[in-house]
Structures are given as structure tokens and as C-alpha cells.
Amino acid sequence: MMNDLPRHLTGFAVLLLAFGIVAGMFHWPIPEGNAEVALVVLGVAIGWAGSVVAFHFGTSEGSKRKTDLIASKRPEGDGYDEEKENL
């Protein structure tokens, strides 16, 4: 499993990027010919931010915790061979 710190840092960076794009759209004028491109970029950034929030507060985080719990409770001699999986 991946360490939580890189995942949290990536999520924070995506949220910061989305906030920066929204703030930039209010701060700097967008040339008329680039308005549609700017709106697409804004939509993508907000979509990424929504995915981060949905993961951290939605079912994916709960599912990850449940998977970790099940993996930690695996009984000895269950036929599972970790060495074969790591090959």
C-alpha cells in the first residue's frame, strides 16, 4: 500500500491548483478568444478537486481502511503466500 503522506500532499496540491485557477480567473482578464479554453481548464481543475474531496471523505477512504483492516487480520496458514505475490 502507498504511504498516506504522498497521497495527502498530491490531494492538497490539486486543491491548491483549483483554488489558484479560480482566483486567477477573477484577478486577470481573459482574452475573448481564450474564454472557452479557460472554462475547460477551470472545469478540469474543479473536477480534480471534487475527486480529491470525494476520495478523502467518501467511500474510497473507508474502503481503503477496511482493506487494511482485513489484511492485518489475516490468519496464519490461510494458504496465502506473500513471496509468490511479490515476484
On whether the pTM is more than 0.85, the answer is no
Burial-class residue 69 by CB neighbours within 10 Å (0-12, 13-18, 19+).
Answer: exposed
Looking at residue 56, what is its pLDDT?
78
pLDDT (tens digit, 9 = 90+) per residue, 49-85?
888 888 877 766 677 778 888 888 766 665 666 666 6
Mean pLDDT computed over every residue of the chain:
81
Looking at residue 27, what is its pLDDT?
92
Given a contact cutoff of 8 angstroms between Cβ atoms, the answer to whether 42 and 21 are in contact is yes
